[in-house]
C-alpha cells in the first residue's frame, strides 16, 4: 500500500513526494478512518482524496460548492488519465444521461456533485445502487453558520449519508476554519472520531500589503502597467464598483472581464472561461467569483475594497499563487469601506448573526490599521499562535518609512474621547478634533470642549487613521455593533500621563507602494528561469490547450514550466524528473515539449 500511493502520485500527478499533511490524511483514510484536513489554499487538499479514490474499490463522491470548481478539477483529472465526471445544472439532458450511464457501468473513480444535487431523492436512489467507498466534502466550512460561506444544503449532507445502504468514509477539507468552525464541521457532518490535522494557514509565497490614502484606480492602473503579462483578480464589494472599474480598465486597453451576480449565467460563464483560458489576464469581480477556482497561475489579487471579514479576505487572497510561485495580495483600504460593509451587514437576512458579523468586520479593520506583521495577524486569527514575527514578506515588515512619534496626537485624541464621556464613535471624535461646524457637533455643545479643533491642521482621514491604529493596538477600544463607541483602554492612561510613547509609520509620511510583483516570478530555489524559453513553452502550452479545449494550467502549471526552463530536460527520463510531469503527461505532451527545449538549447549553442 505504501509503494502504491507513491506510484500513483508520480504516475498521475508527477510528484515524487507528498507535502506535509497529505500522506498523513491519505494513510488515515486508507486505514478506514474519517478525516478533517485544514490546509491552506494551494496545499494540495484534492490529492488527499484523489489518491485514496484510486487505491480503494468503488467510487468516491466529491461534494463541491461551485460548478466552476467541479469542471476545473474534472478537466485536470481527465488530462492525467483518471476517469472522472461531474453532475450539475450546466449539463444538457443528453450529457446528464451519459454520466448516469457511466456511473452505473462503474466507469468513474470520482464523481463531483453540488450539495443541492446530493440531497435530491432521485440522485440518492442512484447512489444507493453504487459501491461508494468515500465521500469527500470540499469547502467544508460551508456547513457552519460561523463560516463565511454558509450554505444550508451542507447541513443536510450527514442526513443524506444515513439514507445510503452503508455508511462510506467521510473526508472533510477546508482552507479557512477558526476553532469554532472546526467543531461545527465535525458535529454537523457527523464525523466519527476523525483524524484531524491543521497544516498551518501560512502561504509563504504570497506578499501581503495594505495600501491607504491612495487614489484606488490610479494605483491599480500603475500596478497593472508594471505587471502586464501577469494574470490577476481585482475584487470589489459591489456590482456597481465592478462595472465601473471594468469599464475604466477596458477603456485603457486591458484584456479584462467582469463577474458578478447581476450578469446572466451565459455572461458569467463566458467571462470565467476567458479568464481560465488566459484569453483575458484580468478579472474584476465581486465575491460571487472564485471560491475553489483551480487556476494555478494567478499572480496577484487586488482588493479594491476591504472585505467584511478575515475569512473572506484570506480565501480570496489564497487564489493567488496556487502553484507556489511568488504572488501578491494588495488591499486598498479606505474608511468608506467600513461604512459600506456595515450597510451590507444591515441588509443581510434576519438569520444572520449580525453581532458576530460586526465583530468580524472590526477585526478586519484592525488588520488594515495594524503596524505589526500582516502575516502574523492572519495566522493568529486562525489559531496559529505566532509572536513577535517579522516575515519579511509583507508591507509592514518591509516598510522602509522611519517611525514617527505620535504620542502628542494620541494624547489629544484620547483626551477628546474622555471629554466626550466615551459615548461616541470615530467619526464624531474626529469631527470635534478637526473643529467641524456641523450641526450635530454644535448641538451637543462639543464646540465648547478644550479639545475642539486642536487637530485642525490634520486631514480628517489622518485623524481617523490614527484612531484606527490606536484601536488596532488595543490602546482604545470599540464597543457596540452598528454604531460603535470609543473608550480608553488601560494602557491609554500610561500614554496620557507621559509614561508611554507611541510611534507610527503610515500616517504622517506617505509610504512608497511596492507595486511590482515580488521577485517577478523569475526565480526558483535561487536558480534563474530562462524567460525566453518560458515564453516559448507558454506559447506551446497555449496552442495545446486550445486543441484540447482545456485551460492552459491544466496542461502544465507555471511552476512546472519554470523547472523546465531551469533544468532543460531533453530526454524522456529527464523530463519525467520535472515536478508536475507524470507518466501520462509524458506520453501525451513529452515529445513536443522536449523538442521545443532541444531546439532552444541548440540555438543557444550556435
**Inter-residue contact 430 to 461 (CB < 8 Å):** no
Which residues are paired to 37 by β-bridges? 173, 197
Task: Calculate mean pLDDT across residues 40-55.
Answer: 91
User: Which single residue is written with the C-alpha cell 486505514?
Assistant: 31
pTM (2 d.p.)? 0.76
Predicted confidence (pLDDT) at residue 441 exceeds the cutoff of 50: yes
Predicted confidence (pLDDT) at residue 604 exceeds the cutoff of 80: no
Predicted confidence (pLDDT) at residue 61 exceeds the cutoff of 90: yes
Q: Of 377, 408, 401, which Cα lies nearest the Cα of 391?
A: 377
What domains are there in the chain, each with its CATH number? 2-198 (3.40.50.300), 206-381 (3.40.50.300), 404-504 (1.10.10.10), 523-605 (1.10.150.80)
Q: Which of 60-69, 242-251, 319-328, 569-578 has the lowest mean pLDDT?
A: 60-69
Distance, in Å, from the CA atom of 302 to the CA atom of 317, rounded to the nearest integer, reads 8
Task: Calculate mean pLDDT across residues 200-212.
Answer: 91
Q: Which of 86-90, 238-242, 281-285, 436-440 has the lowest mean pLDDT?
A: 86-90
Q: Of 90, 589, 507, 520, which Cα lies nearest the Cα of 333?
A: 507
Give tens-digit pLDDT for 70-128: 888 898 899 888 999 999 888 889 999 999 999 989 999 999 998 988 989 888 999 99
Kindly state the DSSP code that residue 394 receives in the 8-state scheme.
B
Give tens-digit pLDDT for 127-138: 999 999 999 999
Angle between helices 426-434 and 407-419 (to 10 degrees): 110
DSSP reduced 3-state for 298? strand
Q: Of 516, 523, 599, which Cα lies nearest the Cα of 299?
A: 516
How much is the pLDDT for 519? 43
| C-alpha cell belonging to residue 584 | 501520462
Say what percent of the chain tops pLDDT 70.
Answer: 93
For residue 402, name the pLDDT band (cuts at 50, 70, 90): low
How much is the pLDDT for 544? 95
Q: Which residues, 6 or more positions from 299, have their beta carbon under 8 angstroms from its beta carbon?
A: 227, 230, 231, 232, 320, 321, 325, 327, 328, 517, 521
Amino acid at each position: 500500500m505504501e509503494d502504491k500511493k507513491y506510484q500513483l502520485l508520480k504516475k498521475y500527478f508527477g510528484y515524487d513526494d507528498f507535502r506535509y499533511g497529505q500522506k498523513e490524511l491519505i494513510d488515515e483514510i486508507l486505514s478506514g478512518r474519517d478525516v478533517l484536513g485544514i490546509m491552506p489554499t494551494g496545499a494540495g487538499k484534492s490529492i488527499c482524496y484523489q489518491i485514496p479514490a484510486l487505491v480503494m474499490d468503488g467510487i468516491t463522491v466529491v461534494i463541491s460548492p461551485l460548478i466552476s470548481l467541479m469542471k476545473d478539477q474534472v478537466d485536470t483529472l481527465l488530462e492525467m488519465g483518471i476517469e472522472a465526471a461531474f453532475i450539475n445544472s450546466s449539463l444538457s439532458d443528453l450529457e446528464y444521461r451519459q454520466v448516469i450511464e457511466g456511473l452505473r457501468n462503474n466507469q468513474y473513480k470520482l464523481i463531483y456533485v453540488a450539495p443541492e444535487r446530493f440531497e435530491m431523492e432521485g440522485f440518492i436512489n442512484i447512489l444507493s445502487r453504487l459501491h461508494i467507498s468515500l465521500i469527500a466534502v470540499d469547502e467544508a466550512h460551508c456547513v457552519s453558520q460561523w463560516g463565511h460561506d454558509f450554505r444550508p444544503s451542507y447541513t443536510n449532507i450527514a442526513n443524506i449519508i444515513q439514507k445510503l445502504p452503508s455508511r462510506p468514509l467521510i473526508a472533510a477539507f477546508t482552507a479557512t476554519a477558526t476553532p469554532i468552525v472546526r467543531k461545527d464541521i465535525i458535529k454537523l457532518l457527523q464525523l466519527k472520531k476523525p483524524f484531524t490535522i491543521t497544516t498551518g494557514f501560512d502561504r509563504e509565497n504570497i506578499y501581503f500589503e495594505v495600501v491607504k490614502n491612495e487614489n484606488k484606480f490610479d494605483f491599480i492602473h500603475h500596478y497593472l502597467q508594471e505587471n502586464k503579462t501577469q494574470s490577476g483578480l481585482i475584487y470589489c464589494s459591489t456590482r456597481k464598483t465592478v462595472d465601473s472599474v471594468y469599464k475604466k480598465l477596458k477603456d485603457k486597453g486591458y484584456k479584462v472581464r467582469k463577474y458578478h451576480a447581476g450578469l446572466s449565467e451565459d455572461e458569467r460563464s463566458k467571462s470565467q472561461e476567458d479568464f481560465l483560458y488566459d484569453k483575458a489576464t484580468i478579472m474584476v469581480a465581486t465575491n460571487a467569483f472564485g471560491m475553489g477556482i483551480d487556476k494555478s497561475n494567478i499572480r496577484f489579487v487586488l482588493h479594491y475594497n476591504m472585505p467584511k471579514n478575515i475569512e473572506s479576505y484570506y480565501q480570496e487572497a489564497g487564489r493567488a499563487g496556487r502553484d507556489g510561485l511568488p504572488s501578491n495580495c494588495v488591499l486598498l483600504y479606505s474608511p468608506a469601506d467600513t461604512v459600506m460593509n456595515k450597510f451590507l451587514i444591515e441588509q443581510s437576512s434576519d438569520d444572520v448573526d449580525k453581532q458576530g458579523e460586526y465583530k468580524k468586520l472590526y477585526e478586519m479593520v484592525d488588520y488594515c490599521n495594524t503596524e505589526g506583521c500582516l502575516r502574523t495577524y492572519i495566522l493568529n486569527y486562525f489559531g496559529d499562535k505566532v509572536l513577535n514575527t517579522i516575515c519579511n514578506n509583507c508591507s509592514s515588515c518591509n516598510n522602509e518609512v522611519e517611525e514617527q512619534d505620535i504620542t502628542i496626537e494620541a494624547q489629544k485624541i484620547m483626551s477628546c474621547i474622555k471629554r466626550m464621556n466615551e459615548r461616541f464613535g470615530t467619526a464624531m471624535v474626529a469631527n470635534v478634533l478637526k473643529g467641524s461646524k456641523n450641526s450635530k457637533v454644535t448641538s451637543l455643545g462639543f464646540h465648547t470642549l478644550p479639545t475642539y479643533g486642536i487637530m485642525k491642521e490634520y486631514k480628517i482621514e489622518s485623524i481617523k487613521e490614527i484612531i484606527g491604529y490606536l484601536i488596532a493596538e488595543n490602546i482604545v477600544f470599540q464597543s457596540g455593533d452598528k454604531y460603535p463607541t470609543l473608550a480608553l483602554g488601560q494602557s491609554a492612561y500610561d500614554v496620557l500621563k507621559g509614561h508611554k510613547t507611541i510611534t507610527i509609520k503610515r500616517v504622517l509620511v506617505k509610504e512608497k507602494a511596492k507595486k511590482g510583483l515580488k521577485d517577478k516570478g523569475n526565480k526558483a530555489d535561487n536558480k534563474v528561469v530562462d524567460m525566453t524559453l518560458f515564453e516559448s513553452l507558454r506559447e506551446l502550452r497555449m496552442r495545446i490547450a486550445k486543441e484540447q479545449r482545456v485551460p492552459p494550467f491544466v496542461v502544465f502549471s507555471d511552476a512546472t514550466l519554470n523547472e523546465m526552463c531551469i533544468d532543460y530536460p531533453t530526454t524522456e527520463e529527464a523530463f519525467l524528473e520535472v515536478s508536475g510531469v507524470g507518466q501520462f503527461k509524458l506520453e501525451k505532451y513529452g515529445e513536443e515539449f522536449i523538442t521545443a527545449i532541444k531546439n532552444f538549447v541548440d540555438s543557444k549553442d550556435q
